[in-house]
Structures are given as C-alpha cells and as structure tokens.
Homo-oligomer: A and B are copies of this chain.
Amino acid sequence: MDKIIRVDMSQLTTRTEAVPPEWAGLGGRALTSAVVAKEVVATCHALGSNNKLVFAPGLLSGTSAANSGRFSAGAKSPLTGTIKESNAGGTAAQMFARLGIKALIIEGMPVTGKWYGLQVNKDGVSIAEESELVGKGNFAVVEALSERLGKKTGLLTIGPAGEMMMLSANISVKDSDGKLRSHGRGGLGAVMGSKRIKFISIDDAGAPGVKLADPAKFTAAARVFARSILDHPATGQGLPTFGTAEMVNIVNAAGGLPTRNFSLGQFDRHEAISGETLREVIIERGGKPKHGCQPGCIVQCSQVYLDKQGNYVTSGLEYETIEMLGANAGVGDLDVIAEADSLMDDIGIDSIETAVAFGVAMEGGVLPFGDGAEVLRILRDEIAFGTPLGRVMGSGAGNVGKVYGVRRVPVVKNQGIPAYDPRSIKGIGITYATSTMGADHTAGYAVGTNLMGVGGGVVDPLKKDGQVELSRHLQIITVMLDSVGLCLFLGFPAADMPTCVPALVDMLNARFGLKLTPEWFGLLGVTTLKTERAFNIAAGFTNKDDRLPEFMCEPLPPHNAVWDFTGEEIDAFWDF
C-alpha cells in the first residue's frame, strides 16, 4: 500500500500515514500542489515554520514507462511568494515509488540550531544530526555520502546556497552516474535549508516495488508509448543529437534570443554556443553527446562535457543556462559556461535564475557584459561564501535589480525570465505572465508550437492570435506530464503522435486498475492549475501580477517586436 510520510522538524519526529482518498489519484505536481494548497497558510513566510516542503514521484515513476522518473518538489516559494513545483531527474522518483512513498511532507523547523540528515528506507524515515557535511558543496556531499552509505544511495542535497537560504538555492538530486540534477527554480533549496536539512538519503533495499494491476497490458502500452517518443523528430532526433542547446540557433534565427539583458533578440556569436558546436566540442574531447538525466530515459538530451584536457566538467548543460550566460550575459564561451554550470551545481543554485541575475547585474554596472572570468570569480569567491555581493547575486534577478536600482529587470512574480524573449515568441510570454509559478518556460512550452510547428498548426510567434489558447492548452498538458513523472519533452509526441496519449492512459489504467480516459488528464490539469492559482490569490496575488515587466514595451531587434498584449487579453487565459 502506498503511504505518505510526514517529518516534523520542530519536534524531530516522523510518522507514516495512509494516503487519503482525495490524494489517491494524484502524483508529482498534482500531488505536491494539492498538499501545499491544503496545508500551507498562503500568507506564511516561506522560510518560516509554517511552510512545508513536499516531495512526490510521478504516477508512473518506478515502472518501465519511458522517461517517467521526474521527481516533484513543492512548497511556497521564497523567491516568488507563489506556490511552487519544480521537478528534476535523477534516481529519487523511482526509489520513492518502489518504496511505496507517495509523498514525503516535511513540516516545521528545528529550534536547536543544528543541522540534520534524513534517511528514507523501507521502514520509513529517520532523522540524524549532521555536522560533518555542513558548509560543504554538493559534490563533496555526494562523494562523502556515497562512501558513507554506498554508491547506490539516492540523494537529495543542498549546497552552501541552500544552507544560507539564498532565494535561488536549488535542491540537487543524484543521478545514476553520481552526478547532479536540480529542482532548480523558486528557491526550494532555501526552504530545505530553513528546515535545517542538509540531505535526504534514500535506500530502496527491500522495497516492495511498484505493482502493476495488468502487467501484460502495461508492457504493451509502454512499448507503444516508447515508440511514439522515438518516432517524433524532436525527441527521437533533435534532442538526442544536440541536446536542448539545439535551440540556440533556432531561437536566434527567430530573433528571440535574449542578448545583453534582453536588449537584443540575436547574438552575433551564437554559433560559438550553439548545440551544433557543443556536440562537436564534446565529441572532439571524448565526452558523451547523449546522456539521460534519469534511468529509463530514451531521449538522452543530456550530455557529459569535458574540458580541453579531457577532464569531466559537467553534465546536463542546458539550453537555458547556455543562452542566459552565453548571449544574455554576453559570455560566448562554452568552456566558461560549462565551468559556471559546474560551480552552480556545487553551490546549489539555480542556473537560470543566477544567469538572469548576472544579466541584470551587468546592466547595473556590477561587472561588464561578457566578462566570463568575473562571472566565475563571483560564483566561486562571492556566492559560494555568502559575501554581501554573493548574497545579492544569490537572491535572484529581481532583488539584484532592487539593490542596484536597475529598471530593466526581466522577472515575472520575481522569478527570472528564461531564455526566450517574449516579444518575438509571444506564446511563451503568455506562459511567463500567467504561470502560477512565476516566469517559467517549462509551465507551457509554447516555443515548440511558435517556432517548430509542434502540435500541427502554426501559431505565428510575432502575432498575438492564438497565443493565449495555445499557452492554456500547453499549461494543462504540462500538469499531466509533471504529475505522471514524465519529462517536459514528451509534450512533443503527446501533441503530435496520435498513439502517445492513449498509450499513456493505457499505462495508467494497467498500473492502477482504473478506467481513465484521456479527458481525465485535462481535468487533472484544469483542477491543479486552479488549485495553484487559488493559493496565489490567497497569498495576495492578483491579475496585476500576471504581467510582463514594463520594459518589454521597448522594441526588440531585429523584428522590433514589442510585448503588446493588453491586461484584458492576458486575463482571458483564466477563462476556463
């Protein structure tokens, strides 16, 4: 029987509960959002004892369904003040699922001043004081814990940023290679730090495993599902070949590549940071151009990046990090970006928020545009140690703007706008504006339809027509993906391959012995979005927060596109 485990960090106690009926059909984001919306007072201080940190595997995590190992973390975000779900790869989701843990809910805050580690295993959760690893970077923590607990141990950790409760702090998840994946956005690492938890280890020895109601039907459906992924050009060819960095040239060509803190839509050195160049460099140096962030991934959009001497630097170098540091901060050098990515992983800080923050800091005169050496120095010497400048940079793009009196600050609900300029890719702008999470491209990735024709129809990126409907449709679908434990890119075959969603529904029915229909997914999406929004409204957000920053009315070269949606047009998003 699946269970819910609660950890009370105020009392340093744990308890196991049955899954209440209302949460039985939920997983991943749908579950973390339901728990946060029900149990967290929306107006609480996100770093106080009234916030809760919730982890949940997806509905299909732990099964053989392709790419179903994304792990959801949820809480009230200290960065945005909204509800937050952030999901990541790694091995945690599958281990939780095999242990029958539907959700881990961490409450309260110790008054002891001490740090703790949580150990999750088949018997539940235990809490132990931790001192050895406090102050250590994520790499050292993973290495030490792999030695202490064995290489197979699953791990969730925070780095110095999380310990210092920096608002961009992430939570790292160990992957199969002992490397790190991140619950990046919204400062959930600060929430974990506020609860004084340095790490959570997961041991699935003796786990009951995931039981399938109809194994034969499941296997058949899983095969069709996998086929649909491999047959789609994006998930079958583009992403495995170039990684997400394939978008550099595509977005540059569309004139929507944020450059010099969103003042240009194209970067003159885009070739130096393109997916094509990335692939060449990786192959030349003997790295891996294909790599999965989670066991069971058949897309393999990740990679292993080596330096010139052939030493490991980082894996999972994403388009958003490359673009925001490369073009938006003007650092057109993959080696510098990869090193920055590694430093951010070690410090435990969101590489998107931090990269956006660098763009704002450059506009504010803290460092020059393009100064990669200074970016690395600030990461290594300032952010990692929490110097005043490091604290500011770690508190997110919005706060950098406030502290340095910058007017052009690309944030929505105080979360940094990622690597697609909404003026010339308008669909993603609607997602930034309306997402319950603050600016977040993954909440409804309209870029696919705007630039690559995903979903069949064409929605012109430079026109307003159809963008609100597109973003709404995608945001509803995305809840499905985030709740099943699927990676975002499965939205491509889900939209284009007629066999994909039926196979997904078949898998769910075969897993749980249910008779769901594809319409059920839509309902899950609608319900979850509305639950999340109700939380935000209770926290004090209004439609005035569903707006892009004022400077988006400046024309963006080369199209001289402006953000021209009226408030009323944006607000129509919620008419469902």
Contact = CB atoms under 8 A, between A and B. Distances in A.
B45 A550 contact: yes
A328 to B, nearest CB: 19
A261 to B, nearest CB: 14
Given A43-B547, A50-B550, A549-B45, A391 B407 contact: no
Interface stretch (A128-136, A164-172, A268-276, A501-509): A164-172
A165 B544 contact: no
Given A48-B550, A395-B402, A405-B190, A544 B388 contact: no
B388 A395 contact: no
A44 interface: yes
6 contacts: A48-B550, A388-B403, A392-B392, A392-B403, A395-B402, A539-B544
Interface string A36-59: 000000011101101000000000
Contacts of A387: 388
A233 interface: no
B405 A403 contact: no
A77 interface: no
A43 B545 CA distance: 10
Interface secondary structure of A, over-half rule: loop
Interface in A189-203: 190, 193-194
Contacts of A539: 544
A23 interface: no
A44 B550 contact: yes
B550 A540 contact: no
Interface in A177-213: 190, 193-194
Interface residues of A, number: 35
A112 interface: no
A63 interface: no
B194 A405 contact: yes
Contacts of A403: 388, 391-392, 395, 399, 403
Contacts of A250: none
A404 interface: yes
B404 A402 contact: no
A145 interface: no
Contact of A43 (B165, B167, B405, B550): B550
Contacts of A50: 550
Interface in A143-186: 164-167
Contact of A399 (B45, B399, B407): B399
A113 to B, nearest CB: 12
Interface string A362-384: 00000000000000000000000
A540 B571 CA distance: 14
Interface string A535-556: 0001110101101011100000
